[in-house]
Amino acid sequence: KKKYYHQTEFLQAVEEIFISLVPVFEQHPEYIKHNILSRIVEPDRIISFRVTWLDDQNNVQVNRGYRVQFNNVVGPYKGGLRFHPSVNESIMKFLAFEQIFKNSLTGLPIGGAKGGADFDPKGKSDEEIMRFCQAFMTELYRYIGPDVDVPAGDIGVGGREIGYLFGQYKRICAAHEAGVLTGKKPGYGGSLVRTEATGYGLVYFVEEMLHDHKQSFLDKTVVVSGSGNVAIYAIEKAQHFGAKVVACSDSSGYIYDPDGIDLNILKEIKEVKRDRIRTYIDYRPNASYTEGCSGIWSIPCEIALPCATQNEIDGDAARTLISNGVKVVAEGANMPSNLEAINEFLNNGILFGPAKAANAGGVATSALEMAQNSSRTYWSFSEVDEKLHNIMKSIYLECKNAASTYGFEGNLVVGSNIAGFVKVANGMISEGVY
Ligand code: NDP
């Protein structure tokens, strides 16, 4: 805490996990003997670099890029790239740290990493995005590879950016190593379902939680924050299961549509026009727009799916959701609920699906993309979707079982932390001190 006192997001993520691990350490002195906690919180390495690029006016622009390779005990480093002005070392470390346990939970051979840059893609032309991606990869390429470290997308990095990054990697390395990045578009190595995977996976996970309590999505009112990759496909699958999704947001504000969000309009605005969410009301006269995104949690709903960013639900927002009758909260974004909010949910009997379990469908499908790339083959949409669905079911079961084994029945926060940790810790012991 003293050493990294300024890295608030990183400390928050570590604290949340360490609290859950107390019962594990009580029963497994070998983890203390091997000093696992001190080792697991120090990244293997942090790569930090300058990214210099030319904007459309031929001005030289400079950003800072990062790659945090946190832990590769279970498999090659794996985790997304985030392009957002808020990116700093603390945020990179928290995301990479969480990624270790999430990737372990998928049951697939992938370690934990994260990267990105403090670059703001908003308002940039397509050419500027391309030049930035090329400059970013010109530095990053030397640290990654299909068996070394495999980046993917995250906030501000979707199929378009992955394409530019991949093109530059290929140019520099003179090899079509498809497995070096995931989230590629289908046609040059991308997997079907990867675009949908995090949102679909989140809804599959919630479906398991509901099913366990003899409920379903049918006719439930749902609020989803964000309107990016995760949010859009969470909305799509929730609607597919019969839910009514009434609200979503971007970083400027939120829309409320009492008739249920029209997904085609939302996709047109966000995926095609890359416009702001406020323009939704131009198409739907019954809908309303409110400036400021945090107010979205005051909309009454039975299921809340935060899918925008970290710390978007604090204690007050959690209490508002609870008093408005929320029954299920599941995290599509990484660490969207702060510790106070999580405690409110757990203490008030809300079914709570923590990020590292509930949003693991994205990285799991990335690992399926790596498998297809390695075997130089493509699987059909339904084949990948079925694998994703099964992975989410087994993650749910694993978390649930780990929680009950240690006496925390129904607490998926404790369950996911323990189940994710134990595999990595055992691997660290087996692979020796290094
Ligand atoms: P996108 O960039 O596609 O969308 C992000 C959405 O969140 C946008 O609507 C954005 O609004 C909003 N947002 C971003 N920053 C803020 C902020 N500071 N305050 C309020 N709203 C904000 O990203 P993704 O959908 O890919 O990622 C969303 C979350 O899901 C992140 O936490 C990410 O780490 C997590 N995640 C993503 C995975 C994936 O496969 N993509 C996998 C697992 C987790 P605006 O357009 O105004 O910026």
On whether the CB atoms of residues 350 and 249 are closer than 8 A, the answer is no
Task: Tell me: pLDDT of 1 over 90.
Answer: no
Q: What is the dihedral of CA 405, 407, 410, 413, to 10 degrees?
A: -90
Q: What is the pLDDT of residues 298-339, one digit of tens each?
A: 999 999 999 999 999 999 999 999 999 999 999 999 999 999
Residue nearest to atom 29 of ligand 1 (CA): 333
Residue nearest to atom 17 of ligand 1 (CA): 251
Q: Residue 307: name the closest of 293, 319, 321, 320 by CA.
A: 293
Q: What is the mean pLDDT of residues 80-105?
A: 98
On the 0-12 / 13-18 / 19+ scale of CB atoms within 10 A, 127 is exposed
Q: What is the pLDDT of residue 23?
A: 94
Asked if ipTM goes beyond 0.85, one says yes
pLDDT bin (cut points 50, 70, 90) of residue 258 is very high
Q: What is the pLDDT of residue 434?
A: 78
Q: What is the pLDDT of residues 387-413, one digit of tens each?
A: 999 999 999 999 999 999 999 999 999
C-alpha 235/C-alpha 222 separation (Å) is: 9
Q: How many residues does the chain have?
A: 434
On the 0-12 / 13-18 / 19+ scale of CB atoms within 10 A, 57 is exposed
| C-alpha 225 to ligand 1 mean position (Å) | 9
Q: Which of 154, 160, 232, 388 to mutate to test the pocket of ligand 1 (most atoms within 8 A of CB)?
A: 154
The tokens for 295 are 């107010």
Q: What is the pLDDT of residue 315?
A: 98
C-alpha 182/C-alpha 119 separation (Å) is: 21
| C-alpha 309 to ligand 1 mean position (Å) | 5
362 Cα nearest atom in ligand 1: 40
| C-alpha 310 to ligand 1 mean position (Å) | 9
Query: Is 90's C-beta closer than 6 angstroms to any atom of ligand 1?
Result: no
124: annotated active-site residue: no
* Active-site position among 1, 33, 114, 185: 114
Name the amino acid, one letter, at 319. Answer: R
Query: Is 391's C-beta closer than 6 angstroms to any atom of ligand 1?
Result: no
Mean pLDDT estimate for the chain: 97
Query: Is 234's C-beta closer than 6 angstroms to any atom of ligand 1?
Result: no
**List of residues 6+ apart from 251 with CB closer than 8 A:** 293, 308, 309
| C-alpha 26 to ligand 1 mean position (Å) | 37
Query: Is 207's C-beta closer than 6 angstroms to any atom of ligand 1?
Result: no
Name the amino acid, one letter, at 199. Answer: G
C-alpha 184/C-alpha 192 separation (Å) is: 10
| C-alpha 112 to ligand 1 mean position (Å) | 19
Query: Is 153's C-beta closer than 6 angstroms to any atom of ligand 1?
Result: yes
Query: Is 162's C-beta closer than 6 angstroms to any atom of ligand 1?
Result: no
Q: What is the mean pLDDT of residues 137-161?
A: 98
3-state SS of the chain? CCCCCCCHHHHHHHHHHHHHHHHHHHHCHHHHHCCHHHHHCCCCEEEEEEEEEECCCCCEEEEEEEEEEEECCCCCEEEEEEECCCCCHHHHHHHHHHHHHHHHHCCCCCCEEEEEECCCCCCCCHHHHHHHHHHHHHHHHHHCECCCEEEECECCECHHHHHHHHHHHHHHHCCCCHHHCCCCCCCCCCCCCHHHHHHHHHHHHHHHHHHHCCCCCCCCEEEEECCCHHHHHHHHHHHHCCCEEEEEECCCEEEECCCCCCHHHHHHHHHHCCCCHHHHHHHCCCCEEEECCHHHHHCCCCEEEECCCCCCECHHHHHHHHHCCCCEEECCCCCCECHHHHHHHHHCCCEEECHHHHCCHHHHHHHHHHHHHHCCCCCCHHHHHHHHHHHHHHHHHHHHHHHHHCCCCCCHHHHHHHHHHHHHHHHHHHHCCC
Q: What is the pLDDT of residue 375?
A: 96
Query: Is 333's C-beta closer than 6 angstroms to any atom of ligand 1?
Result: yes
Q: What is the dihedral of CA 393, 362, 193, 221, to 10 degrees?
A: 70
Q: Residue 37: name the closest of 425, 337, 349, 318 by CA.
A: 425
Q: What is the pLDDT of residues 175-234, one digit of tens each?
A: 999 999 999 999 999 999 999 999 999 999 999 999 999 999 999 999 999 999 999 999
Residue nearest to atom 36 of ligand 1 (CA): 333
Q: How far apart are the first and last CA of the chain?
A: 23
Domains and CATH numbers, the chain: 43-190 (3.40.50.10860), 196-358 (3.40.50.720)
Q: Which residue carries 């190595």 as its tokens? A: 189
Task: Tell me: pLDDT of 5 over 90.
Answer: no
On whether the CB atoms of residues 276 and 290 are closer than 8 A, the answer is no
**HSE-up of 403 (CA within 13 Å, CB side)?**
19
Query: Is 156's C-beta closer than 6 angstroms to any atom of ligand 1?
Result: yes
| C-alpha 217 to ligand 1 mean position (Å) | 23
Q: Which of 181, 204, 227, 229 to mutate to test the pocket of ligand 1 (most atoms within 8 A of CB)?
A: 229
Q: Which residues pair with 51 in a beta bridge?
A: 63
Q: What is the pLDDT of residue 108?
A: 97
Name the amino acid, one letter, at 196. Answer: E
**HSE-up of 21 (CA within 13 Å, CB side)?**
21
Confirm or deny that 426 is annotated as ligand binding.
no
Q: What is the pLDDT of residues 29-42, one digit of tens each?
A: 999 999 999 999 99
On whether the CB atoms of residues 245 and 238 are closer than 8 A, the answer is yes
Q: What is the pLDDT of residue 3?
A: 83
pTM of the model: 0.96
